[in-house]
Structure 1
Amino acid sequence: MEVTVKQDLNAGFYINLGSEMKPDLNIDQKLHLITRNLQEVLGEDKIKEILSKRDLKIYWGTATTGKPHVAYFVPLVKIADFLKADCEVTILFADLHAYLDNLKAPWELLAHRATYYAFLIKEMLKSINVPVEKLKFIKGTDYQLSKEYTLDVYKMLSLVSEHDAKKAGSEVVKQVEHPLLSGLVYPLLQALDEHYLGVDAQFGGVDQRKIFTFAEKYLPSLGYAKNSHLMNPMVPGLTGTKMSSSEEESKIDILDTPQAIKSKIKKAFCEPGNIENNGILSFLDFVIFPLSSDGTFTVQRSAKNGGDITYSDFQSVRNDFENQLLHPADLKAAFQNRLIDMLKPIRKAFESPELKKLMQLAYGNATDVDELKFQISNGFTIIDQSKPDSENNDIIPSKLDLRVGQIVSVENHPESENHLYVTKVDLGEPETRTIISGLAESFSKEELIHKKVIVLCNLKPAKLKGIQSFGMILCATDQDKKKELLEAPTFCEAGHKIVFEDYELNQPDAELKPKKRIWEKIQVDLKTDDQYYVNWKGHMMLTPGGTKIMTSQLKNATIS
């Protein structure tokens, strides 16, 4: 998409759709960007109060069920607004929700569908010049299966009535004659996500309103904050009803061929003069015009029908169509051409054999396809697991189970002559872990006690001089052999997961196999840079909230 500078007259300042350069925005300008074109906002006063102190934290979640369709551009355009307003935005691939919603995604396909969504939505964002590096991506099962989250689900179950749970999910969860209990749990999880993702506001369609008000009612019952909610209007599908993955004729899939797009648009509801429930007009309003490089939309017509006409705003298109000055056939032809051009770069990205295989794994017969591993990153690396490690570069940092641990006690190892410490570390588990370390040569007990450190948790347990050790406390070491503990920021809690940039969606191995020497191979490239940030091949080590882990004194140091 060609990038130009446009003036947003309502906001009173300039927005550049592709450049990093933009003026500082005041509170009212940020609030306008956050709330414009929404159908409803719950808690706007709270949003304004937060903006007076810091940037807003927002999350948008999507259940990984059917193949994403073009209506997904509507929330993505709004996410672009959030980023322009300096918001911290998290995109949640709600794989567990997809399973709970009447098994729309079978359990064995959850991982593949979440990966497919991640690849496709990142390509959609890139196609409209949304900087994906400014977004945080997370998969629901990365945290929704934790002990703390599960306990909160049980607490919610003891508070919520069947009536309230059914009502909350009535517009979102598929309604059937004999509903499963999983559909009643769905709204509880969506409410809890707000707390566990650490956000101030949740964004979604207006069809989510009942779940949003459910969250506002029940989260305070658990002692959690009541958050704000931002609601997009619902865009009608091609049949005049909601665009839905389950209704084939109502939607255009992102990867539909040009021929399929033309066929679907030809049959789309577009009655002359009728502007109600018109999916084409709505898509023009919420996607085509906001993303237009020059703010225009051109309809090509024969001279007999008035000749070509270029519209500079949506209202003019709407008025001409309502007054029957614009024929449905001409509108459909112009719309389909613009849409085909818009989807072209995404379709091109999915021409690779690997991504075609991913689509077959997610939506076809997975047993007929060789198993692949997909690393979700800005580079979209795909690893063929049918090849040995030496051939497919299977050494990636997300294999490491890294967590924040707080040292609660330090003692000398009775058999080490003061060279080893026996430390007890709180990792958010029912019991503290015992870790044997060589920290005694560099740190006193007083320097270690109560420190929040980074712990490698999935090493195979090893017995050191008669005492079993269950992990490794990481340190930085420079060329002069100076050591510094790898410490977590003070706001982190014991058990918080530490990840690497672009690898947030990958799951660590349950246990690193010593014979494969995975830790040793990863550790070679695990270093601090000249700005003191810890990284693996340029991928920054991050807290759950995206804060970079760094040392205070040692740059260009190794981590071990």
Structure 2
Amino acid sequence: MALSVDEKYNLISRNLQEVLGEDKIKSILKERDLKVYWGTATTGKPHVAYFVPMSKIADFLRSGTEVTILFADLHAYLDNMKAPWELLELRVQYYEHSIKAMLKSIGVPLDKLKFVKGTNYQLSKEYTLDVYRLSSVITEHDAKKAGAEVVKQVEHPLLSGLLYPGLQALDEEYLKVDAQFGGIDQRKIFTFAEKYLPQLGYQKRAHLMNPMVPGLTGAKMSSSEDESKIDLLDTPAAVKKKLKKAFCEPGNIENNGILSFTKHVIFPLFGSGEKFLIKRDEANGGDIVHENYESLEKAFAEGNIHPGDLKAAVETYINRLLEPIRKEFEKPELKKLIEKAYPVPGKQKVVANSSDDIIPSRLDIRVGKIVEVSRHPDADALYIEKIDLGEEHPRTIVSGLVNFVPIEKMENRMVVVLCNLKPAKMRGVESKGMVLCASRDEPKEVEPLIPPQNAVVGERIFVENYEDGTPDDVLNPKKKIWEKLQVDLKTNSDCVAHWQGNKLIIKSGDLIKSETMAGAPIK
């Protein structure tokens, strides 16, 4: 039976956080089916949170919507060049196999979908000319603001990151769609597209936005944060282990990745009459069934469902979704593809640097001890520190820690120091290095990294799998080596410092950590 306009729109919009252009969508639906695209940059491996957009794509298809999935390989390259071209080509293949396997797992017929690789049209003469046209009307402020939630932000952004929002806007025109679908973190790019596409003579599109689903740690689920996500090929044992550690505080429905997954994936994929089953021992009240998400959330909020029981139920549903994908990737050719697209870092340690390698072994990071500290006479927020780094004389380093660490806690403190920055004057005092800290902007929090207790003053700190490289004598500020590496330095959910998942360690293998700040950038 044909769906009415309202029924189609309800399928298209359900569980979304926001829709821009509702009237436009309904107007199109009165004439024909909608055309939508969803894009994904082919960088880290797709994980279980990809079922959130896949679930919505299933809704779109049920409504009769024509869906294009864009593998944004050029966008991935421009996002701080996370991978070279040869790897990106392999990752496009991996993404296509993964997403097809996911859609088959949830019963979506692939003949209703179109898959497009970005570079199939983004390197054409017409598209390139439109990039130049767009660059003639976009301000630097608008480009930076549009990418703020998507492109990693640094003090001196690369031009590639500023181009990113414009390319995504042009994709709407070149894919000939009526609407773009994405997460709410894309909102600034979507409004940017609505502003600038008409200036090129192209029509303004509608935009459909999913909420951001928390990861297992309670923060955003991230491909680079292993503890926060379940990989599509994780074994049942790995799924159980990660769910066991997942944040799921009794009665807490905020930032609860377990509940969010049930809302945005499990319930929308249920067939007619299917219900959410939580199995329990008779001694604990026996099995319980929920017909809709609202009743499940209410029961959890009221303490009538134990987090362990909820996790066990979600574990069953996740494994049901993942099993067909695991079987698909048992094929020898796909196993080989994974090895090539995502080589294990430990199998290809970098022995030496070339002048063009932007790798962490170029950083001279060492254990230091503050032997003297005073307030900067001309800057209220700055300390002047004398730091023993195992050299003949302590180094003078200026740090903006006055508002975050009392002076008495700075004295004789062990710290982590980046030693090969070009010396810079800070309010008249030359600073010869940087004390590395976990840092957040909102609210503003700064916490110096902590070397392990057995660390020796002056010893080198390495990034795992990059132990054999040679640090630069001085990092060339014009080449932005520190800035390019810093965007991937952060703490994980256990407060351990890492770069792209490779932990910061001393020679003994002991870890560099932050005292309390998890999931924070390191600056």
> How far has the Cα of 1:224 moved from its partner?
0.4
The one of 149, 152, 157 equivalent to 1:174 is 152
SS of residue in 2 equivalent to 1:356: helix
Is 1:340 the equivalent of 2:340? no
> How far has the Cα of 1:153 moved from its partner?
0.5
Task: Give the distance between the partners of 2:154 and 2:286, measured in 1 at CA.
Answer: 51
Per-residue CA distance 1:133-189 (angstroms, 9 max, x = gap): 110110000000000000111111111111101100111112234422111111010
Give unmatched runs, 5+ long, in structure 2: 349-523
Paired letter, 1:351 = E
Give unmatched runs, 5+ long, in structure 1: 1-22, 370-560
1:313 is aligned to 292
The one of 89, 107, 122 equivalent to 1:144 is 122
Task: Give the distance between the partners of 1:135 and 1:248, measured in 2 at CA.
Answer: 30
Per-residue CA distance 1:351-372 (angstroms, 9 max, x = gap): 1111011111111169x99xxx
Deviates more, 1:314-323 or 1:130-139: 314-323
1:443 is aligned to none
1:508 is aligned to none
1:83 is aligned to 61
The one of 219, 223, 247 equivalent to 2:201 is 223
> How far has the Cα of 1:119 moved from its partner?
0.5
1:419 is aligned to none
> How far has the Cα of 1:91 moved from its partner?
0.6
Task: Give the distance between the partners of 2:340 and 2:30, measured in 1 at CA.
Answer: 47
Task: Give the distance between the partners of 2:119 and 2:328, measured in 1 at CA.
Answer: 27
Is 1:327 the equivalent of 2:306? yes
The one of 100, 107, 119 equivalent to 2:85 is 107
> How far has the Cα of 1:104 moved from its partner?
2.1
The one of 223, 239, 243 equivalent to 2:221 is 243
2:172 is aligned to 194
1:412-427 aligned at under 5 Å gives the runs none
Paired letter, 1:116 = Y
The one of 86, 96, 117 equivalent to 1:118 is 96
1:364 is aligned to 343
Paired letter, 2:187 = R
The one of 86, 97, 101 equivalent to 2:75 is 97
SS of residue in 1 equivalent to 2:134: helix
2:246 is aligned to 268
> How far has the Cα of 1:319 moved from its partner?
1.2
Task: Give the distance between the partners of 1:145 and 1:90, measured in 2 at CA.
Answer: 19
List structure 1 segments (4+ residues) > 3 angstroms apart after TM superposition: none
1:33 is aligned to 11
1:152-551 aligned at under 5 Å gives the runs 152-293=130-271, 294-364=273-343
Task: Give the distance between the partners of 2:54 and 2:344, measured in 1 at CA.
Answer: 30
Task: Give the distance between the partners of 2:217 and 2:154, measured in 1 at CA.
Answer: 22
Question: In angstroms, what is the RMSD of aligned CA positions?
Answer: 1.5
SS of residue in 1 equivalent to 2:222: coil
Paired letter, 2:316 = N
Instruction: Rate the CA distance shift 1:327–1:174 in 2: closer, same or farther, 3 A.
Output: same
2:42 is aligned to 64
Task: Give the distance between the partners of 2:153 and 2:226, measured in 1 at CA.
Answer: 18
SS of residue in 1 equivalent to 2:31: coil
Contact 1:249 1:264 in 2 (8 A): yes
Contact 1:295 1:313 in 2 (8 A): no
SS of residue in 2 equivalent to 1:52: helix
Task: Give the distance between the partners of 1:161 and 1:334, measured in 2 at CA.
Answer: 50
> How far has the Cα of 1:203 moved from its partner?
0.5
Per-residue CA distance 1:233-254 (angstroms, 9 max, x = gap): 1111101111111211111111
Deviates more, 1:263-272 or 1:25-34: 25-34
> How far has the Cα of 1:209 moved from its partner?
0.3
TM-score by length of 2: 0.65
Task: Give the distance between the partners of 2:235 and 2:44, measured in 1 at CA.
Answer: 17
Instruction: Rate the CA distance shift 1:217–1:238 in 2: closer, same or farther, 3 A.
Output: same
Per-residue CA distance 1:361-388 (angstroms, 9 max, x = gap): 111169x99xxxxxxxxxxxxxxxxxxx
Aligned-pair identity in percent equals: 70
Task: Give the distance between the partners of 2:57 and 2:264, measured in 1 at CA.
Answer: 12
Per-residue CA distance 1:374-422 (angstroms, 9 max, x = gap): xxxxxxxxxxxxxxxxxxxxxxxxxxxxxxxxxxxxxxxxxxxxxxxxx
Paired letter, 1:216 = E
Instruction: Rate the CA distance shift 1:177–1:262 in 2: closer, same or farther, 3 A.
Output: farther
Task: Give the distance between the partners of 1:351 and 1:295, measured in 2 at CA.
Answer: 30
Task: Give the distance between the partners of 2:65 and 2:144, measured in 1 at CA.
Answer: 32
Task: Give the distance between the partners of 1:103 and 1:299, measured in 2 at CA.
Answer: 44
> How far has the Cα of 1:292 moved from its partner?
2.4
Task: Give the distance between the partners of 2:217 and 2:118, measured in 1 at CA.
Answer: 32
Task: Give the distance between the partners of 2:341 and 2:79, measured in 1 at CA.
Answer: 17
Per-residue CA distance 1:248-295 (angstroms, 9 max, x = gap): 111111111111111111100000110100000010011111212342
Task: Give the distance between the partners of 1:267 and 1:236, measured in 2 at CA.
Answer: 14
SS of residue in 2 equivalent to 1:202: strand
Paired letter, 2:41 = A
SS of residue in 2 equivalent to 1:298: strand
